[in-house]
Structure 1
Amino acid sequence: MLIFRQLFDASSSTYTYLLGDSLSGDAVLVDPVFEQVRRDAALLHELRLQLRWTLETHVHADHVTGAWLLRERTGSRIALSRHSGANGADLLLDHGDRVAFGGRYLEVRATPGHTNGCLTFVLDDQAMAFTGDCVLIRGCGRTDFQQGDAPTMYRSVHEQIFSLPADCLLYPAHDYRGLTVTSVEEERDWNPRLGGDSNVDDFSGYMKNLGLPHPKKIDVAVPANLNCGRPEAGVVDAGDPAWAPLTFTFGGIWEIQAHALEEAGERVQVIDVRQPDEFDGSLGHIRGAKLIPLDQLAARSGEIDAGRPVVAVCRSGARSAQAVVMLQRAGFGEVANLAGGMLRWRAEGCAVEGGAA
């Protein structure tokens, strides 16, 4: 079964696409964003997928790719067009190549016009295609910089994308209106630039008169992306918390495992957000934990030392995850959730006070 997720970076209005093969656990990411690498890595972990490839539809001008950082973190490989001009890729792609992930693959179609190195990735059964900035939803990428050429884009779209089955779903690299997906038939019929009875002259005239400003991040993004997102020094501060070994979840919460919390000892303060009868009930509680029920946490957050890391605890980890959010809103910077709560703490044999034998 195909695993598919559409992810979004709000600051650049960029879509990243995760495709995975459920049988093998192999996965690819199309157009990852540097600032979203932690999110993407968390999702891969939670879906039990191994990232094999990051794929670029083109050298982006509006954001820095996460390809290099994902390679550093996961061991994935980087692939993009041979005509991109980029350095540092593991594989340079040509029209007609295939990128495999488990028993599935993406077909590579060269679709220049926005840049020389634009690619469209077509799923093996032609049920979906990832068009980058070539075809957007009722629009297309601009053709006024980075080797842009309107006639070339027109031919790319009509020969390589509009030739796909009518019901093939098209997923763009960006959308600025909250739209998520379109289809070949829709864009052939209704794209105001490329569809209907528009010919190459109509399209070229349209594109010459867009009058758009250059992307805000172009001076930073393009040089970085020509090195596959590798920082100039080759080192990046991930910004991960240093006070304990934590894991970031796709839900946006830092978590600590039971034995890591046990080893941290008095360096951290444990806030138990259960009710008093639970705190003294059959599961017991962690030695030294301070009881502040979740419904009292906002009013009593001043009782917590803002200068020491905080770990929130509940029965299963659900209520304490909300406690983490509340404490972060209250200005606490070093906060984590006990993964699995007291249920996992006891299951792993960690010390408790009170509770049933």
Structure 2
Amino acid sequence: MIFRQLFDAESSTYTYLLGDEATRQAVLIDPVLEQADRDLQLVSELDLTLTHVLDTHVHADHVTASGLLRERTGCKVVGGVDGAACANVHVRHGDELRVGQLVFQVLATPGHTDDSVSYLLGDRVFTGDALLVRGNGRTDFQNGNAGQLHDSITRVLFSLPDETLVYPTHDYQGRTVTSISEEKRHNPRVAGKSREEFIHIMESLHLPKPQKMDIAVPANRACGHTAPSPQRG
């Protein structure tokens, strides 16, 4: 398998490129609009064909490149069933997605947003904002729910083998990967905490809203296509 982890510094977003060496088919997970040219160049350099773009959820801090990549390559856009209506494929918990010989298993992991999904591929899982390195996504907008996120982390993700590698969509301290075992033991929001304690932690964060939220959310519900600016007469 071909695997690359890419980074957008402005939004601290990780994008993942995975390719099947036999068929040369490839997928990008959570691509960022401003990095589309970079990502397509890498796909070309590695002699891959982009067949799918997977969004883990409707992001609020950056605009997805999924729609642009679909226009430029003919790939299919994949998202959760409660996410962007413009996706070609809407997936639910337990679905499988095949890219060449790679088989992704879909895990519904709502709570950060109501449409959040994670993608499990062998010994690694791509968790979006549901589970981060020593943290997790916020739950105060887009139908977020702290109790639901706790259940997604502890009942769905923590049921995976301890050695499963966790690749999040964001990290703000330069950390690139963690594991299920590490997060069970060291994640300060869930390790040794009850569901009620987790909910209290999340409800006490009082974070400012993401700077790009008003642009990103509507754009991402349209696969990254932003509304045109109004014309001035």
TM-score (norm 2): 0.96
Paired residue secondary structure (1:17): strand
Higher relative contact order (CA 8 A, sep 6+): 2
Paired residue secondary structure (1:193): coil
- Give the match for residue 204 of structure 2: 209
Measure, in 2, the Cα distance between the counterparts of 1:101 and 1:87.
22
Paired residue secondary structure (2:50): strand
Instruction: Say if 2:48 is the partner of 1:79.
Output: no
Instruction: Say if 2:185 is the partner of 1:189.
Output: yes
Post-superposition offset of 1:194: 1.4
Equivalences for residues 296-307 of structure 1 within 5 A: none
Paired residue secondary structure (1:162): helix
CA contact (8 A) 2:53 2:77 kept: yes
Paired residue secondary structure (1:179): coil
Instruction: Say if 2:197 is the partner of 1:199.
Output: no
Measure, in 1, the Cα distance between the counterparts of 2:85 and 2:227.
13
1:139 aligned partner, one-letter code:
G
- Give the match for residue 151 of structure 1: 147
Instruction: Say if 2:107 is the partner of 1:109.
Output: yes
Instruction: Say if 2:146 is the partner of 1:168.
Output: no
Paired residue secondary structure (1:144): coil
Post-superposition offset of 1:104: 1.1
1:12 aligned partner, one-letter code:
S
CA-to-aligned-CA distance 1:54-88 (integer Å, 9 cap, x gap): 0010000000000000011111110101112x221
- Give the match for residue 224 of structure 1: 219
Post-superposition offset of 1:101: 0.9
Instruction: Say if 2:91 is the partner of 1:96.
Output: no
Q: RMSD of the alignment, in Å?
A: 0.8
CA-to-aligned-CA distance 1:225-252 (integer Å, 9 cap, x gap): 000112336xxxxxxxxxxxxxxxxxxx
Measure, in 1, the Cα distance between the counterparts of 2:57 and 2:153.
15
Greater gyration radius: 1
Paired residue secondary structure (2:159): coil
CA-to-aligned-CA distance 1:128-186 (integer Å, 9 cap, x gap): 00000000000000011111111100001111111101010000010000000000000
Post-superposition offset of 1:99: 1.2
1:137 aligned partner, one-letter code:
V
Measure, in 2, the Cα distance between the counterparts of 1:227 and 1:67.
9
Post-superposition offset of 1:108: 0.3
Measure, in 1, the Cα distance between the counterparts of 2:162 and 2:139.
26
Measure, in 1, the Cα distance between the counterparts of 2:15 and 2:169.
7
The 4+ residue runs of structure 1 with deviation greater than 6 A are none
Aligned length, in residue pairs: 228
- Give the match for residue 174 of structure 2: 178
Gaps of at least 5 residues in structure 2 are 229-233
- Give the match for residue 231 of structure 2: none
1:135 aligned partner, one-letter code:
L
1:140 maps to which of 120, 136, 139: 136
